[in-house]
A and B are shown apart, each in its own frame.
Chain A
Amino acid sequence: MSADMFHLGWFGSFIPTTWTTGWDGTDAARWMDGKFYVDKVRTLERACFDFILFEDSSMVSDVYGGSSEATLKRGGWAPKGDPVALAPILARATERIGISVTMSTSFYPPWMLARSVATLDHMSRGRIGWNIVTSSEDLAAKNFGMDALPPHDERYARADEFVDLVTQLWDSWDADALVMDRERGVYVDHTKVRPIDFVGKYYKSRGPLNTLRPPQGRPVLTQAGGSPAGRQFASRYADMVMALPKGVPAMKEYRDDIRMRVAAEGRDPDRTKVMFVVSPILGETHQHALDRKAAKDEAVRQHPEGQLIGWSGSMEIDFSRFDLDKPLPDDVQTNGHQSTLANFRKWANGRTLREACVAYRTESMELIGTPDEVAAQMDEAMQEVGGDGFLIWNQPHNRRYIGEIADGLVPALQKRGLMRTGYGHEHFRDNLLEF
């Protein structure tokens, strides 16, 4: 027996590639021209990925050590280009793969977001997704002129209204508003375009949108917040939820919980896919893969700052203050990624910070071995969890790794009938819902 066919997405950022691994080529100096990403998205389309998703943030973190020095020294968290500007090039270079970009409800004016996403959906012929985040760093809020972000649950209340408003703007043009009747000289039928006169608690907008309804009607909406407020929000709107629970039982629990919440909202649970972040380590032989992992772990043990900087930025806690060879002290707090900190403590479970850095993976489960072995591990996990697929987190972020996944792992999955070998539809959502 094997699992039903599942979905693969790629999860990453518009950032420099690796530049000190020995397999870096020249991309780290030129990443901002987008050409690396064009090659990448073409490769992923060849490998039949459902989509590529770009996370995003708007800050140069200076939490670690109280300065941006360490962050910038390594690269990886900043600099980071605006993925909304990159998306059209990627769409132009491809035909079927979905392209999802992160845009924050805390910083975008709703009108601007609705219009920009609608434009991208037209230009990509229905292949755009919006990854909805509320942002979690006060530092980003300061860049936008606020002193701090609104409190966690209020951010979701705002996001709720925001998405409602944006959806109404997309709906302000009927699908058949464009008539293009040359005889009568009528391009758009004005009776099919309406103001929305939206007046909410946080937002107002008159409308209608000043461009045609997006080809998908509503571009694909994705979401990753794992707190109760985040999950509730996801259950109302998301076509896909990105999740990072640790271990197969937690994955099953997460997916079941989302499906239950989606059903409680009166939606069909099969229309919200839950996908889990993984970063497979592949090798020529099983032993080779284990060796690669050991080498990677040892490198982190020697230089754990990279991981600490990441945590410092995302949890807004200065990890440089702590003794590396002791666990994280109990009294540490955050307003930012609450569920991230809670999960971190639970997971760290008394590990010293150094060992936590070594053990930490931005992934829901470890996948390690030859391509075929990893395909089998994914199969087994999906049988247990019930669906709906994986997001590959690029570790390391370079062409060699992309090639290993696209040309090693994917064919192994396809041979087992676990992954698509072509796209059934033109639109991103239709492909996501194909199975």
Chain B
Amino acid sequence: MLHLGWFLSFQVQSWNQMWSGEGGREWNKPQLYIDAARSLERAGFDYMMFEDGSFVPDSYGGNHDWWLKAARSVPKQDPLPLIPILGEHTKNIGFFATVTTSFHPPFMAARSAATIDHLTDGRFGLNLVTSHNHRTAQNFGHDALFDHDERYRMADEWIDLVRKLWDSWDADAVVLDEERGMFADGSKVHPVDFEGEFYRSRGPLNTTRPPQGRPALCQAGGSNAGRAFGAKNVDTIIAQVNGVEDMKAYRDEVSEHMIAAGRDPKECKVLFIVTPVLGETDAEAQDRAERGRLAMAGAVESNLASLSYATGEDFAKYDLDAPFPDIETNATQSSLALFKKLAAGKTLREFVTSDTRKSVDLVGTPDTVAGQMDEIMQEVGGDGFLISGSLHRRYVSEIADGLGAALRRRGLARDGYAGSTLRENLLEF
């Protein structure tokens, strides 16, 4: 069986496309996401994962104009307040929201995650990022980001502290003993007295232990430091890797890191980002994919901007007909490495007009795509896919009611949830 997730941001999903509906206006209200969550739950998805960032991008072209015009990565709202609402309207599907270990105070993150875990009955998780843009650092009053590996050292300590805060209430601390007039037992709630290199906190947390004990954790960093951090701490890793071979290598490497960290590799599910293109017939799906490729190839600016976003470099200033520039970054090292690899032997124009963003091509009828997914996972060795695509109702339904149903028929997607928490569902198979 496969684990399934949906990857998105709390931002404009789609606003001037054929099937956008009222997407330009309703993106910052809950209903669109509620509808999606309910559909994905129907299809047995493990989770929806909200990425996030705290800056207005201005890397491409040296200002923020293009980004605002295109509604690309801005405006983007805080996903934390959205999750409790999604929890109210669903029963089983889980939700990850992204927080940055570089700037979110650990006590605040621990408390708000514990609260949301309670509000969703144990279906919440944090996606931990270290932030990759200087603008984020500047919005938080710093001149620049901390150094890449230092960010991960901070993240290590940060999660260590947050976990201790979650553990500061024993599971049986709340006794509700009316006879003795005892709500909670003081001997089961402990200060943490944490003194680290970067963080300090006395504790205990001032709310009860979260239903999952520790809310689920997710991570995406692909650098060495990032992968080591993930292997040590998280329940699921989301990966953007190209091709079946690399996917397998990625999963194997996560397993090795986990064993080295003393964990069972099954405890962490790796989900690979894909954007399936579905059609009534395989031919129709191929046509659709081709139309998509052409549109993508035409959107040179948009593709250059994506590169700028990931690397922090202004790709407007490079010669489109020269080879991919030889640059270094303090931002997302793994993304840049991937771009360089994919761009080998290509000019910048050739690179940005080719479709390189997907792990693998999944094109066809729902049943065809279900078959492809099956094959890929057999080769890779686990654990599933993270769908990333326009969040409008038509696409969500194609995935949930088309592909989801086909997967279920093949016994590849769950038919109902066995567990009641996000972690239980991740560990179900």
Asked if A and B bind, the verdict is yes
Assess whether A116 is in contact with B81, with CB atoms less than 8 Å apart: yes
- State whether the Cβ of B380 lies closer than 8 Å to any Cβ in chain A: no
- State whether the Cβ of A73 lies closer than 8 Å to any Cβ in chain B: yes
Taking the closest CB of chain A, its distance from the CB of B319, in whole angstroms, is: 26
- State whether the Cβ of A333 lies closer than 8 Å to any Cβ in chain B: no
Number of B interface residues in the complex (CB < 8 A) = 75
A77-126 residues with Cβ-Cβ distance < 8 A to B are: 78-82, 84-89, 92, 107-112, 115-116, 118-120, 122-123, 125
Cβ–Cβ < 8 Å partners of A59 in chain B: 206
- State whether the Cβ of A414 lies closer than 8 Å to any Cβ in chain B: no
Assess whether A32 is in contact with B115, with CB atoms less than 8 Å apart: yes
Cβ–Cβ < 8 Å partners of B83 in chain A: 85
| Residue interface bits B79-121, CB-to-A below 8 A is 1, else 0 | 0111111001000000000000001110110011011101101
| Residue interface bits B305-332, CB-to-A below 8 A is 1, else 0 | 0000000000000000000000000000
Contacts A190-B63, A193-B56; A143 near B140 (Cβ below 8 A): no
Assess whether B206 is in contact with A193, with CB atoms less than 8 Å apart: no
Cβ–Cβ < 8 Å partners of B371 in chain A: none
B1-49 residues with Cβ-Cβ distance < 8 A to A are: 10, 12, 15-16, 24-25, 28-30
CA distance A185 to B184 in the complex (A): 57
Cβ–Cβ < 8 Å partners of A143 in chain B: 107, 201-203
Cβ–Cβ < 8 Å partners of A69 in chain B: 186-187
Residue in B15, B63, B115, B169 whose CB lies within 8 Å of A86:
B115
Assess whether B139 is in contact with A82, with CB atoms less than 8 Å apart: no
Assess whether B29 is in contact with A180, with CB atoms less than 8 Å apart: no
| Residue interface bits A178-190, CB-to-B below 8 A is 1, else 0 | 0010100111111
Assess whether B140 is in contact with A111, with CB atoms less than 8 Å apart: yes
A206-225 residues with Cβ-Cβ distance < 8 A to B are: 206-212
CA distance A212 to B76 in the complex (A): 8
User: A169: nearest residue on chain B (CB-CB)?
Assistant: B139
CA distance A112 to B103 in the complex (A): 9
- State whether the Cβ of B342 lies closer than 8 Å to any Cβ in chain A: no
Assess whether B75 is in contact with A86, with CB atoms less than 8 Å apart: no
Assess whether A122 is in contact with B119, with CB atoms less than 8 Å apart: no
- State whether the Cβ of A134 lies closer than 8 Å to any Cβ in chain B: no
Contacts A75-B184, A123-B28, A210-B75; A92 near B115 (Cβ below 8 A): no
Cβ–Cβ < 8 Å partners of A204 in chain B: 138, 141-142
| Residue interface bits B39-73, CB-to-A below 8 A is 1, else 0 | 00000000000000111100000011101111100
Contacts A32-B119, A145-B199, A188-B75; A68 near B186 (Cβ below 8 A): yes
User: B143: nearest residue on chain A (CB-CB)?
Assistant: A204
Taking the closest CB of chain B, its distance from the CB of A73, in whole angstroms, is: 5
CA distance A69 to B107 in the complex (A): 21
Contacts A72-B185, A111-B139; A118 near B77 (Cβ below 8 A): yes
CA distance A379 to B121 in the complex (A): 44
Assess whether A85 is in contact with B119, with CB atoms less than 8 Å apart: yes
Assess whether A84 is in contact with B81, with CB atoms less than 8 Å apart: yes
CA distance A208 to B12 in the complex (A): 18
Number of A interface residues in the complex (CB < 8 A) = 76
- State whether the Cβ of A332 lies closer than 8 Å to any Cβ in chain B: no
User: B63: nearest residue on chain A (CB-CB)?
Assistant: A190
Taking the closest CB of chain B, its distance from the CB of A333, in whole angstroms, is: 22
Cβ–Cβ < 8 Å partners of B15 in chain A: 180, 182, 187
CA distance A59 to B199 in the complex (A): 17
Cβ–Cβ < 8 Å partners of B203 in chain A: 143
Cβ–Cβ < 8 Å partners of A371 in chain B: none
Assess whether A116 is in contact with B16, with CB atoms less than 8 Å apart: no
Taking the closest CB of chain B, its distance from the CB of A183, in whole angstroms, is: 9
Cβ–Cβ < 8 Å partners of A71 in chain B: 186
Assess whether B76 is in contact with A211, with CB atoms less than 8 Å apart: yes
CA distance A86 to B85 in the complex (A): 9
- State whether the Cβ of A205 lies closer than 8 Å to any Cβ in chain B: yes
Assess whether B206 is in contact with A78, with CB atoms less than 8 Å apart: yes
CA distance A81 to B124 in the complex (A): 15
Cβ–Cβ < 8 Å partners of B174 in chain A: 29, 79
Interface stretch (choices B175-183, B272-280, B402-410) = B175-183
Contacts A71-B186, A145-B201, A180-B24; A210 near B76 (Cβ below 8 A): yes
Taking the closest CB of chain B, its distance from the CB of A68, in whole angstroms, is: 5
- State whether the Cβ of A203 lies closer than 8 Å to any Cβ in chain B: yes
- State whether the Cβ of B135 lies closer than 8 Å to any Cβ in chain A: yes
- State whether the Cβ of B189 lies closer than 8 Å to any Cβ in chain A: yes
- State whether the Cβ of B401 lies closer than 8 Å to any Cβ in chain A: no
Residue in A70, A80, A193 whose CB lies within 8 Å of B207:
A80
Assess whether B184 is in contact with A211, with CB atoms less than 8 Å apart: no
| Residue interface bits B159-201, CB-to-A below 8 A is 1, else 0 | 0000000000100011010100111111101000000000111
- State whether the Cβ of B78 lies closer than 8 Å to any Cβ in chain A: yes
- State whether the Cβ of A401 lies closer than 8 Å to any Cβ in chain B: no
- State whether the Cβ of B208 lies closer than 8 Å to any Cβ in chain A: yes
CA distance A33 to B123 in the complex (A): 12
Name the residue among B140, B173, B187 with the largest chain A CB count within 10 angstroms.
B140
Contacts A72-B189, A78-B206, A190-B68; A206 near B138 (Cβ below 8 A): yes
Assess whether B140 is in contact with A123, with CB atoms less than 8 Å apart: no
- State whether the Cβ of B74 lies closer than 8 Å to any Cβ in chain A: yes
Assess whether B111 is in contact with A58, with CB atoms less than 8 Å apart: yes
- State whether the Cβ of B204 lies closer than 8 Å to any Cβ in chain A: yes
Contacts A19-B176, A85-B116, A89-B119; A72 near B107 (Cβ below 8 A): no
Assess whether A203 is in contact with B141, with CB atoms less than 8 Å apart: yes
Taking the closest CB of chain B, its distance from the CB of A310, in whole angstroms, is: 14
CA distance A143 to B204 in the complex (A): 8
User: B211: nearest residue on chain A (CB-CB)?
Assistant: A32
- State whether the Cβ of A163 lies closer than 8 Å to any Cβ in chain B: no
Cβ–Cβ < 8 Å partners of A125 in chain B: 29
Assess whether B189 is in contact with A115, with CB atoms less than 8 Å apart: no
Taking the closest CB of chain B, its distance from the CB of A222, in whole angstroms, is: 19
Cβ–Cβ < 8 Å partners of B208 in chain A: 32, 79
Cβ–Cβ < 8 Å partners of B24 in chain A: 180, 187
Residue in A73, A81, A111, A209 whose CB lies within 8 Å of B186:
A73
CA distance A209 to B204 in the complex (A): 33
Taking the closest CB of chain B, its distance from the CB of A59, in whole angstroms, is: 6
Taking the closest CB of chain A, its distance from the CB of B150, in whole angstroms, is: 18
Cβ–Cβ < 8 Å partners of B185 in chain A: 72-73
Cβ–Cβ < 8 Å partners of B80 in chain A: 84-85, 116
Assess whether B68 is in contact with A189, with CB atoms less than 8 Å apart: yes
- State whether the Cβ of A287 lies closer than 8 Å to any Cβ in chain B: no
Assess whether B183 is in contact with A108, with CB atoms less than 8 Å apart: no
Contacts A73-B184, A88-B82, A123-B85; A193 near B55 (Cβ below 8 A): no
Assess whether B200 is in contact with A145, with CB atoms less than 8 Å apart: yes
CA distance A361 to B28 in the complex (A): 42
CA distance A139 to B191 in the complex (A): 11
CA distance A32 to B202 in the complex (A): 23
Assess whether A115 is in contact with B78, with CB atoms less than 8 Å apart: yes
Assess whether A122 is in contact with B103, with CB atoms less than 8 Å apart: no
Q: List 16 A-B contacts (CB under 8 A).
A: A34-B119, A70-B186, A73-B184, A78-B206, A81-B114, A81-B207, A82-B207, A85-B83, A87-B81, A108-B105, A119-B78, A123-B85, A144-B108, A187-B12, A209-B56, A210-B75
Closest 5 CB pairs of A and B: A69-B186, A75-B183, A187-B71, A32-B118, A142-B202
Given contact pairs A92-B85, A109-B140, enumerate 4 new A-B contacts (beta carbons under 8 Å). Answer: A58-B206, A86-B115, A87-B81, A108-B105
Give B contacts to A, CB under 8 Å: 10, 12, 15-16, 24-25, 28-30, 53-56, 63-65, 67-71, 74-78, 80-85, 88, 103-105, 107-108, 111-112, 114-116, 118-119, 121, 135, 138-142, 169, 173-174, 176, 178, 181-187, 189, 199-208
